[in-house]
Amino acid sequence: MHIEVSGLYKKFGDFQAVTDVNFEIEKGQLIGLLGPSGGGKTSILRMLAGLESVDKGDIVFHGKRVNDLPPQERGIGFVFQNYALFKHMTVEGNIAFGLEVKKWSKAKIKDRVAELVELTGLSGFEKRYPHQLSGGQRQRVAFARALAPEPQLLLLDEPFAAIDAKIRHELRSWLRDMIDRLGITSIFVTHDQDEAIEVADQIMIINKGRLEQKGTPWEIYKNPQSPFVAEFIGESTIVEDASSLRGFGNASDWPGTKALIRPEYVEVGKPSDFKLLSATESGRVRHVHFRGSEWLVEVEVGSTRLVTYRSLEKEIVHPGDEVQVLIHRAYLFNNNDSWIMENKLKEDPMPVHI
């Protein structure tokens, strides 16, 4: 389903939950609404579902304004954070509920339920009650129940929040595959950036009721359009005075400019590791953490502490080691503007042409 939202506002009492949100979603996409808790993500999702009224603005499905349609008539499936399974019904009963309500024939209901049980890998659990299932199984029942009436749009509110970390990972890729296979437009809410990056085609970053940025995970990572997005996505260190960093002296042209530096922008090594030593400055290793697939190195340059990753293939550095630090690039921002700046000293000032 093609979805268009324009000028969306929502207030709860004195609290402005959603402010002027605009976006458009192509059919078949999987969208992640990402942002800190209480930022308005769930309110947006609930307004799309019709579970919350809209103060101002339009929600358009397939070219048709649905603001005044009740949830029953929007053709959506909704997976709740706590799953909201009907406790007094079996797995089968839960999945069949939406079909019975829509007065499908008995035979058709039976087929559809069997199909979904198969699809969600719940075979053998049809006669169980929700309290006899594990968290992951409940989640899949909720998913099957929402999908049963063949909705055009699937909305998921923090679908993995209540599941332990290990199974969460499995379920994520399972959900991704499932949605790919069904080709159903889906929107899910999460406060976990890894989840959004891993699963979503496109991410919408929501903060304080506003849509900060919309784009593919890579676009958002590479080119954050606001300091909030830059800081929220990925790991980073903020340096109060950007011009103090070697290679970024130009930043002093814009007073009050801060720098945000991601671990992958930083490289540490011996002087012989770098082609252009003039672009580096010396620092001291403070801490080294083993991260399973790489080292996380904390290094101190002057008074700023930076974080970087180091491949396991490279020579091991130890706390206290004197190293050279190269900052490839930084995300600079001040009150008015934000941009990405490359290390100016990295380009050879006197290239030798042969």
Partner 1 sequence: MSSMLQGRWWSWGFRSAVMLYFVVLIIFPIFGIYGQSLSSGWSAFADNITEPLAWKAVLLTIKLALITTIINALVGTMSAWVLIRYRFPGRRLLNSLVDLPFALPTAVVGLMILLLLGPHSLVGEWAEKLGFTILFHQPAIIIAMVFVTFPFVIRAVQPLLEEMETSDEEAAYTLGASRATTFWRVILPNMLPGILSGAMLAFSRALAEFGAVVLVAGNIPGKTLIASVYIFGEIESDNTLGATAVSVMLLTISFLILWTVNYVQMRRKNG
Q: Which is nearer to partner 1, 6 or 53 (CB)?
A: 53
Which of 21, 34, 45, 146 binds partner 1 (CB under 8 A)? It is 146
Q: Shortest Cβ distance from residue 177 to partner 1 (Å)?
A: 24
Cα 266 from Cα 261, distance rounded (Å): 8
Radius of gyration of the chain (CA): 25
Residue 91 CB, nearest distance to partner 1 (Å)? Answer: 15
Residues 6+ apart with CB under 8 A from 154: 76, 77, 78, 79, 146, 147, 179, 184, 185, 186, 187
User: How many Å apart are CA 205 and CA 41, to the nearest integer?
Assistant: 9
Q: Name residues contacting partner 1, limited to 90-119 (CB under 8 A).
A: 97-98, 101-102
Q: Which residues pair with 77 in a beta bridge?
A: 154
Question: What burial class does residue 335 get, using C-beta atoms within 10 Å of its C-beta: 0-12 exposed, 13-18 middle, 19+ buried?
Answer: exposed
Q: How many residues does the chain have?
A: 354
Among 13, 14, 63, 70, binds partner 1 (CB under 8 A): 70
Least distance from partner 1 to the Cβ atom of residue 189, Å: 14
216 near partner 1, rule: CB under 8 A: no
Comparison of 36 and 71: residue with beta carbon closer to partner 1: 71
Please report whether residue 12 would count as binding partner 1 according to CB under 8 A. no
> CA-CA distance, 80 to 84, in Å (whole number)?
6
The one-letter amino acid code at 101 reads: V
Instruction: Give, in order, the Cα–Cα distances in Å from 176 to each of 166, 198, 210.
Output: 16, 9, 26
Nearer to partner 1, 43 or 236 (CB): 43
Which of 36, 135, 149, 269 binds partner 1 (CB under 8 A)? It is: 149
- Of 64, 88, 166, 318, the residue at the interface with partner 1 (CB under 8 A) is 88
Which of 61, 78, 143, 333 forms a contact with partner 1 (CB under 8 A)? 78
**Applying CB under 8 A, does 265 fall inside the site for partner 1?**
no
Nearer to partner 1, 81 or 223 (CB): 81
The total of other beta-carbon atoms located within 10 Å of residue 300's CB is 14
User: Is residue 72 near partner 1 by the rule CB under 8 A?
Assistant: yes
46-65: contacts with partner 1 (CB under 8 A): 49-51
Residues 30-49 within binding reach of partner 1 (CB under 8 A): 49
Question: For partner 1, which is the closer residue by CB, 70 or 255?
Answer: 70
127 lines the binding site for partner 1 (CB under 8 A): no
What phi, psi does 81 have (nearest 5°)?
-60, -40
8 by Cβ neighbours in 10 Å (0-12 / 13-18 / 19+) ranks as buried
Q: Which residue, 51 or 204, has its beta carbon nearer to partner 1?
A: 51
Contacts of 297 (CB under 8 A, 6+ apart): 268, 285, 287, 288, 289, 307, 308, 309, 310, 317
Interface of this chain with partner 1, residues 169 to 208, rule: CB under 8 A:
none
By rule CB under 8 A, what string of x and - marks binding of each residue 298-317 to partner 1? Answer: --------------------
**Residue 114 CB, nearest approach to partner 1 (Å):** 18
Q: Is 145 in the site for partner 1 (CB under 8 A)?
A: yes
Spatial CA neighbour of 29 closest among 179, 211, 205: 179
CA 174 to chain centre: 17
Cβ at position 158, least distance to partner 1 in Å: 12
Question: How are beta strands 30-34 and 185-190 bridged, if at all?
Answer: parallel
Among 28, 71, 135, 215, binds partner 1 (CB under 8 A): 71
- The reply to whether 80 sits near partner 1 by the rule CB under 8 A is yes
The residues of the shown chain that bind partner 1, judged by CB under 8 A, are: 49-51, 70-72, 76-78, 80-82, 84-88, 97-98, 101-102, 129, 145-146, 148-149
